[in-house]
Amino acid sequence: MPGPLDRMKAGLAARPAGGSVSPATGLALPPVWDPLIRLTHWSVAVAVLANGLFTKAGGALHVGLGWAVLALLVLRFGWGLLGPIEARFSAFPPAPRAALAHLHGLARRHPVREHPSHNPAGAMMVYALWGGLLVICLTGLWLTDARSPMQIAADQAAVLSGDWSALAQTAAAGETGASGEIKKAVKTVHELMANLILIFAAEHVAGVAVESRALGRNLVRPMLWQRRTKRGPEA
């Protein structure tokens, strides 16, 4: 932990010379994202990566993570209505035209301004990710006949212990006739959307990098922890 002298030194470095007394606050930085947003953000990110790349499709873990993502989405939507100002939908309404203008400005290296919540392009990315995640969750529910992860785990355990009747049931339920066709189509949507989400996520990361550069501050930090490092003695 830095002592008072260290803090004072840091403050001295940030201060203009000439004996000015004003605290070295400068422009007030926008606050970090609130803890609920940060936790849901990283939980969803981990779940998406795990389900997109590692877990076995249709397995209890895959379905469980999917259900968790659905719960986190619902929680975030509730927070978007009732949470603090910059978490609310009203702070970042979907505005495709403003988003394009923002991207255009970035491409031309116009100076960007700070936004209290997401910037317009970031907001569109948020809605795209949410929409994609909802589609994946709902098609996933359809594909599993909305069986809960607990049931799937129980079925898996039954099959492992030699009781194959659960397997026969699931086989009989799908794969044949018109419902089989629909199921196949839904499965395709589920998989396509999953790939799209991974592409969206990559674009999102690239967008954060570009915007961080344009703003001259690290936009990842407000999503990580609450310390502000750009401040003077009382940082």
Partner 1 sequence: MRLPTPDAERRHTAVLAAVVLLQAVAVLFFVGDAASDILHDGLGPETLFEGFIAFALSSGVAAGGWQLRRALETQRAQARALEVARGALAEVIEAQFSRWGLTPAERDVALFALKGLDVAEIAELRSAAAGTVRAQMARVYAKSGVSGRAQFAALFVEDLLG
Residues forming the site for partner 1 (CB under 8 A): 4-5, 8-9, 12, 18-23, 25, 28, 31, 34-36, 38-40, 43, 64, 67-68, 70-72, 74-75, 78-79, 82-84, 146-151, 226, 234
Please give the Cα distance from 129 to 77 (Å, whole number).
Answer: 13
> For the purposes of burial, counting CB atoms within 10 Å of the CB of 164, is it exposed (0-12), middle (13-18) or buried (19 or more)?
exposed
The least CB distance from residue 179 to partner 1, in Å, is: 18
Is 103:123 a contact under the CB 8 Å cutoff? no
Please give the Cα distance from 5 to 13 (Å, whole number).
Answer: 12
Closest to 118 measured CA to CA, from 107, 109, 128: 128
Closest to 115 measured CA to CA, from 129, 132, 101: 101
The least CB distance from residue 225 to partner 1, in Å, is: 9
The least CB distance from residue 118 to partner 1, in Å, is: 18
Taking the CA atoms of 7, 13, 16 and 20 in sequence, report the sign of the dihedral they define: positive
| Angle, CA 65 vertex, CA 129 and CA 154 arms, to 5° | 150
Q: Which is nearer to partner 1, 69 or 121 (CB)?
A: 69
Q: Which is nearer to partner 1, 15 or 115 (CB)?
A: 15
The least CB distance from residue 111 to partner 1, in Å, is: 26
The least CB distance from residue 31 to partner 1, in Å, is: 7
Q: Which is nearer to partner 1, 18 or 177 (CB)?
A: 18
Q: Which is nearer to partner 1, 124 or 129 (CB)?
A: 129
Q: Which is nearer to partner 1, 151 or 212 (CB)?
A: 151
